[in-house]
Structure 1
Amino acid sequence: MKRKGKTPRFKTQRRLLMELPGMGKAGAMERKPYPPGQHGQRRRKYSEFGLQLEEKQKIRFHYGVREEQFRRLIKKAQKSSNSNWVEALVNLLEKRLDNVVFRLGFAVSVPAAKQMVSHGKVLVNGKKVNIGSQIIKVGDVITLKPDAYENQTYLQAKQSPRLPLPSFMMKEEKGGVESGRLIDEPNIEAVPFAFDAGLVISYYSLRG
């Protein structure tokens, strides 16, 4: 049964004309490289607002955060010491536990990682954490509960990782058990697709 108010991930990526790795739907643009709908193949005209909105939506959908969560993170980023608040925002998004689990290759998508966390399958420094939005710190070690290493979500991700391991993370494997660690602070280059930070800044500067 389809949940009301939720757009299928495949259609979302087609609408944005971009594959968003965090959504886990590889191939969204291969068969139909145009927006969904009756007039999808017509050439699209963008207003400045439309460009700003789509750039913001790319970030929000990739990281799997609701609009209200996104706005809270933006306010926190704007209060940081970083003069570029979009870079501070990316830093926070990349360090969310659900995203860390995804970027370590323990899950095929951010939603799959979120589910693993909420089901108590993820350990941070040996302790179970079931809140996907928890911010991970440099040095924290991420592992899974023993039975999670036999789960199809993990095995599929290990066999076909959606993204390469980023430079600010490291992984180890001992006795067939993988662990991951955040070894540096992620910056704006951590975003695994092209986007224009200036358009995101413009969108929110006009709307407070």
Structure 2
Amino acid sequence: MAKSTTARSRFKIQRALGVELPGLGKGGALARRPYGPGVHGNKRKKISDYAVRLKEKQKLVFHYGLREKQLVTYVKQAKKNTAGKPWMEVLLTNLESRLNNVVFRLGFAPSMMAASQMVSHGQVQVNGKKVDRSSYIVKEGDVVTLTEKGYNNQLYKQTQESPRFAAVPACYNVEGSDKKKATMVAAPLESDVPFDFNSQLVIEYYWKVK
């Protein structure tokens, strides 16, 4: 998990990338301005193709709470897939299937960092068994729930009172009126990524990685 960020630094990150990243938690509205952040942001300057691709890649790093080395590992794994699918599709499915992300997207935690904390504290169960690794990949048919301690966690209660998302992605079947149990019924898709994102630019950024 990437190191902790303050509310101010979270805003600055999103301001610099020009997009609201739900994984960083709920914050104020991200005002869009016709220039970049900082005292010199209103001075027009040409942005290189590399910088454009870098910013797009950084969206994945910050939203999913990864380090650059971790993302590169996921890229390498995706490129080695034997299913014949485009590697970018495999990459995004794997990122969306990480346990901390699943907990976050199900509305069990208010941010990716909070979801990772719940996982590491043993408050998340997959198929009735505790799993304490945020990087655990949830598969189709897996049932995700929290422990009793997890449902009593203030982070969980906070999210129930003020949901981060209006709805749960279609790849999950949420059961019960209390929405405390969910099954992954299909692999997450690129369309499930909850922020503006150009996958082609990331493909171009990592084209040399093998």
The aligned residue for residue 141 of structure 1 is 143
- State the shift of 1:41 in Å: 4.0
Measured on the aligned residues, the alpha-carbon RMSD in Å equals 2.4
Could you tell me which of 164, 185, 188 is aligned with 1:186? 188
Percent of residue pairs identical = 48
Structure 1, unmatched stretches of 5+, are none
Question: In the alignment, residue 72 of structure 1 is paired with which amino acid?
Answer: T
1:100-129 CA distances to partner (integer Å, 9 max, x unpaired)? 000000001111100000011111111111
> Which residue is equivalent to 1:92?
94
Structure 1 contact 10–25 (Cα < 8 Å) conserved: no
**More deviation, 28-37/67-76:** 28-37
Structure 1 pair 46–156 and aligned structure 2 pair: CA distance change class (3 A): same
115-124 or 80-89: bigger deviation:
80-89
| Contact 1:13/1:28 (<8 A) preserved | no
Aligned equivalents of 1:132, 1:33: Cα separation in 2: 37
SS of the residue aligned with 1:38?
coil
CA distance in 2 between counterparts of 1:34 and 1:173 reads 47
- Residue 153 of structure 1 pairs with residue 151 of structure 2: no
Which residue is 1:26 aligned to?
27
* DSSP 3-state at the match of 1:55: helix
* DSSP 3-state at the match of 1:56: helix
TM-score with structure 2 length normalisation? Answer: 0.88
Farther off after superposition, 116-125 or 77-86: 77-86
Q: Which amino acid aligns with 1:45?
A: K
Matching of residues 30-45 of structure 1 within 5 Å: 30=31, 35-43=36-44, 45=46
Q: Secondary structure at the match of 1:171?
A: strand
1:108 to 2:99 alignment: no
Give 1:5 deviation, angstroms: 9.5
CA 1:141 to 1:33, structure 2 compared with 1: closer, same or farther past 3 Å?
farther
- SS state of the match for residue 205, structure 1? coil
- 2:70 is matched with 69
Q: Is the 2:76–2:209 contact (alpha carbons within 8 Å) kept by the matching residues of 1? A: no
Aligned mates of 2:97, 2:45 — CA distance in 1: 35
Q: Pick from 124, 127, 137 the counterpart of residue 125 of structure 1.
A: 127
Q: 1:36 to 1:77 in 2, by over 3 A?
A: same
Question: What is the SS of the residue equivalent to 1:192?
Answer: coil
In 2, the alpha carbon distance for the partners of 1:98 and 1:82 equals 27
Residue 26 of structure 1: how far off its partner (Å): 2.7
The answer as to 2:55 corresponding to 1:51 is no
**Is the alpha carbon distance of 1:105 and 1:39 closer, same or farther for their aligned partners in structure 2, counting shifts above 3 Å?**
same
Q: 1:98 to 1:44 in 2, by over 3 A?
A: farther
Q: Residues of 2 paired with 1:5 and 1:26: CA distance?
A: 13
Query: Is residue 17–residue 59 contact of structure 2 (8 Å, CA) maintained in 1?
Result: yes
* 1:169 matched residue in structure 2: 172
CA deviations over 1:145-202 (Å, ceiling 9, x no partner): 112212211011112221220010121236x571111110112111111211111111
Distance across 2 between alignment mates of 1:72 and 1:158: 34
Q: The residue matched to 1:46 in structure 2 has which SS?
A: coil
> What is the count of residue pairs matched by the alignment?
205
- TM (normalized to structure 1)? 0.89
2-side partners of 1:17 and 1:103: how far apart?
Answer: 22
Deviations 1:46-83 (A, max 9, x none): 11000000011111211111111101100111111244
